[in-house]
Amino acid sequence: MGIIHGLVGVFWVGIHFNNEAFLLPSMAKAQKLADMPMLRMMPKISMVGAILGFLTLITGVIFFLIRFPLDPGGWLADPEARTVLVGLVMVLASLVIGMGILRPGAEAFGKKAGAMSPMDPLPDDMKAGLARIGMFLHISTALVVGALITMILAINGGI
């Protein structure tokens, strides 16, 4: 279970690095849809991200219950368990942002984009939508990297 959890978790972080390296820079500068070739991949990236996020959460919770006895008081007293719980809070926050803001935002953008030609200049409201998606993607990246750091701290004894 640890290996599966570690792999899906790290893949999930990886998709965030892909966003930071390729998707976000083109979104920040875009004046028209043609400036953002990666955007056509957005629905797929977003779906894979959501699946990996939920798999990380589910496998993590199962692994947690295997590793630590069912005793909430004891969890907070155990440095390893409480470090993982900090990671859990970060992951939940990232999933709330993803499902509550990023996916609906991307869908709304996609609907408007579908009615435009690639060379049309982007209207200001769509640029503002992209900036908002970009900001929350950065926050999500910070949260998943933070969660990965808590995992590394936990396997080294916790804090």
Q: Which residues bind ligand HEM (CB under 6 A)?
A: 2-3, 5-6, 9-10, 12-13, 56-57, 60-61, 63-64, 67, 80, 84, 87-88, 91, 144, 147-148, 151, 154-155
Q: Judged by CB, which is closer to ligand HEM: 23, or 154?
A: 154
Q: Judged by CB, which is closer to ligand HEM: 130, or 154?
A: 154
Q: Judged by CB, which is closer to ligand HEM: 88, or 101?
A: 88
Of the candidates 150, 4, 138, 144, which has an alpha carbon nearest to the alpha carbon of residue 80?
150
* Backbone angles phi and psi of 75, in degrees to 5: -60, -45
C-beta of 107: minimal distance to ligand HEM in Å? 24
Of the candidates 84, 83, 97, 92, which has an alpha carbon nearest to the alpha carbon of residue 19?
97
C-beta of 74: minimal distance to ligand HEM in Å? 14
Q: Which residue has the tokens 């609907």?
A: 111
Helix, strand, coil share of the chain (percent; to 5) = 85, 0, 15
C-beta of 127: minimal distance to ligand HEM in Å? 30
C-beta of 9: minimal distance to ligand HEM in Å? 3
| 102 neighbors 137 (Cβ within 8 angstroms) | yes
Q: Judged by CB, which is closer to ligand HEM: 2, or 118?
A: 2
Of the candidates 81, 75, 94, 70, which has an alpha carbon nearest to the alpha carbon of residue 147?
94
List the structure tokens of 66. Answer: 């295997």
Q: Judged by CB, which is closer to ligand HEM: 65, or 128?
A: 65
C-beta of 109: minimal distance to ligand HEM in Å? 25
Residue 131 parent element (H or E) = helix 124-155
